[in-house]
Amino acid sequence: MKFENILEEIDGFGPYQIFIIVLLCAPRIVLPCHYLLNNFIAALPPHRCDISTLDDGGLFRNWTQQQRLTVSLPLGEDGGFRSCEMFAEPQFQLLVNGSKDFEATTVPCQSGWVYDNSTFTSTLATEWDLVCDRKSLSQTTSSIFFFGVMFGSIASGFLSDRYGRRNTLLASYIMAAVFGFSSAFANSYVVFAVLRFFTGFGLTGIGINSIVLSIEWVDTDHRSFIGVIGSLSWSVGNMLLAAFAYLVNDWRNLTMTVTAPLGLAILTWWWIPESARWLLAHGKVEKAKFYLDKCAKFNKRGDLSDKIKLETLSSIEDEENKDKNYTYLDLIKTPKMRKLTLLTGIVWYGVASTYYGISLNIGGLGLNIYLTHFIYAAIEVPAKLMVYCCLNIVGRRKCQAGTLLLTGLCIAINIFLPQDLWHLRIVVAILGKGLSEAAFTTLFLYTTELYPTVVRQNGLGYTSFISRLGVTVAPLILMLEDFWTPLPQIIICSVASVSGLVALLLPETLKERLPETIQDVEQKTMLVN
């Protein structure tokens, strides 16, 4: 007897499974709010040098503000005042002769900056003057956050496979909530950066454990439904972030707002069950029977004891795996696991780098940043529904490869489209964003089905770690436009296309039972030759 047979007896897709999905929705809404929070809290509003100290001598007492700015600040190429420079000495002749072909000695801003607060009341840039030569520090917080996510994925994967999905999930809830709220009260840039690192460290455990708990409690026929429809909470959170950011213009209040749902998540954790698959794989038969009994009663299938005996459950666990502690080394000890680990790592890097390369460039459409972010988030909903239909028709492998290759095609089209066709460029960009999200949605479900139960969390921890490398590199790739404008898009297009081709080398898992042990992977033709 296999675990799938037990799920058939107790209903592998009943009210109990829906209840689990609902409980995991609130914390998953928090994830995109934090992952893309930097788009708003690190925004760089228009700014100029502060010239208020020039009034000390009373020279400008009767002058208008425009006259003061004219003699104090040089003009940029766009006709506006430069953001980081001022004249070494007031240039009074500009009031008479104008500024055409005028050159004078300039110096960096001497008394700080004045910011345009019409869009944002406060951001990291305005809080700690992260502008001009310190401009990169504002975006560095995003990389620091994802470094935390990256290392957290490794720790979460190990702890989940060692101590269980449920316990690790609670630790992730508490850690993300504590450090998330604390970062809103940081009194220096360094303190904020450290707290964001640990916030990311905690959040990654929520993402990994919530998807695995969902998938491991459903039968084979409904895994794609749970994986795709359950992930809609990410899209909801993404759209809510645009609304939260629009309504809450202060970065401290916005950080607290997007962290608040974790308080509800901690309260609902008590009703979340441990994965019965994990319990059986680790020899905890009586505890597994406890949760399976609850599932049977909740789904109105009667008492499990009347159908399946304790001895039957004991026979499901592999004696060779009982009490064995698996590590990340088990991902590369055997030939097919080694190949699987390599290929999934490449695909995860490509999907993450592509998705965040598009998502972090919300100024690329030339629209209001709130509207752009909302459109990018909203397109994810039909993308998820589309991929749900395709997953059960053409399979996981073709969906994974197809969405990545089509994303690369959309990026390639926009590279060659002229700027004056901006309406068409917007349509293509939104389509590419939707396809990149479809690739991400497919990948979470696909990877969960590829790795065996005994190392499933280690496998997701490893692939999540690799993906965060892609996320960390994405902002750096976007900065390359200063050297050559199309270069970032060429790189992202290439990464999407290559990872799509690599996905074709993975096995199909449609309607296949989840592998329980490493032996299940090695004894089956899991990889395309």
pLDDT class of 97 with cuts at 50, 70, 90: low
- 76 pLDDT exceeds 60? yes
C-alpha distances out from residue 435 to 123, 401, 478, Å: 31, 11, 20
Amino acid (1-letter code) at residue 320: E
User: What is the Cα–Cα distance from 384 to 375, expressed in whole angstroms?
Assistant: 15
Residue that wins the pLDDT comparison between 71 and 41: 41
How many percent of the chain have pLDDT more than 90? 24
* Residue 379: Cβ-neighbour burial (10 angstroms; 0-12, 13-18, 19+): buried
Kindly give, in sequence order, each residue whose CB lies less than 8 Å from that of residue 294, ignoring residues fewer than 6 positions away.
Answer: 16, 273
Domain annotation covers residue 294? yes
**479 shares a domain with 352:** yes
Domain membership flag for residue 377: yes
Average pLDDT, integer, range 208-215: 83
The pLDDT confidence band at residue 193, using thresholds 50, 70 and 90, is: very high
Of all residues in the chain, the percent with pLDDT exceeding 70 is 89
Residues 78, 26 share a domain = no
Assigned domain for 471 exists = yes
Q: What is the pLDDT of residue 58?
A: 57
| Confidence check: pLDDT of 287 > 80 | yes
Give the whole-angstrom CA distance, residue 359 versus residue 200: 18
Q: Check: CB of residue 252 under 8 Å from CB of residue 152.
A: no
| DSSP annotation of 330 | G
524 half-sphere exposure, CB direction, 13 A CA radius: 18
What is the CATH classification number for the domain harbouring 267?
1.20.1250.20
Whether 39 maps to a domain, the answer reads no
Domain co-membership, 439 together with 496: yes
The single residue listed with the structure tokens 């499974």 is: 17
**Same domain (yes/no): 148, 52:** no
> What is the spatial distance between Cα 440 and Cα 445, in angstroms, rounded to a whole number?
9
Q: Let me know whether 389 and 505 are in one domain.
A: yes
Rounded Cα distance between 320 and 518, Å, is 11
41 lies in some domain:
no
358 in the same domain as 278: no
Q: Which of 115, 146, 174 is a domain's end point?
A: 115
pLDDT greater than 60 at residue 57: no
Q: How confident is the model at residue 316 (pLDDT cuts 50, 70, 90)?
A: low
Determine the structural domain holding residue 211 and report its residue range: 1-31+131-323
Q: What is the residue type of 214? A: S
Band the pLDDT of 526: cuts 50, 70, 90.
very low
| Confidence class for position 486, pLDDT limits 50, 70, 90 | confident
Phi then psi dihedrals of residue 86, to 5 deg: -145, 160
Phi, then psi, of 81 in degrees rounded to 5:
-70, 145
Q: 327, 458 in Cβ contact below 8 A?
A: yes
Region for residue 218 given its phi and psi (left: phi exceeds 0; alpha: psi -120 to 50; beta: otherwise): beta
- Among all chains, which residue has been given the structure tokens 């080694």? 338
Are 24 and 55 in a shared domain? no
Q: Is the pLDDT of residue 91 over 50?
A: yes
Tell whether 121 is covered by a domain: no
Same domain flag for 410 and 262: no
**Tell me, what's the pLDDT at 343?**
94
The answer to the question of residue 182 being in a domain is yes
Q: In the structure encoding, which two tokens stand for residue 356, read together?
A: 């965040």
Residues 139-171 pLDDT 10s: 788 888 988 988 888 888 788 878 888 999 999
pTM of the model: 0.78
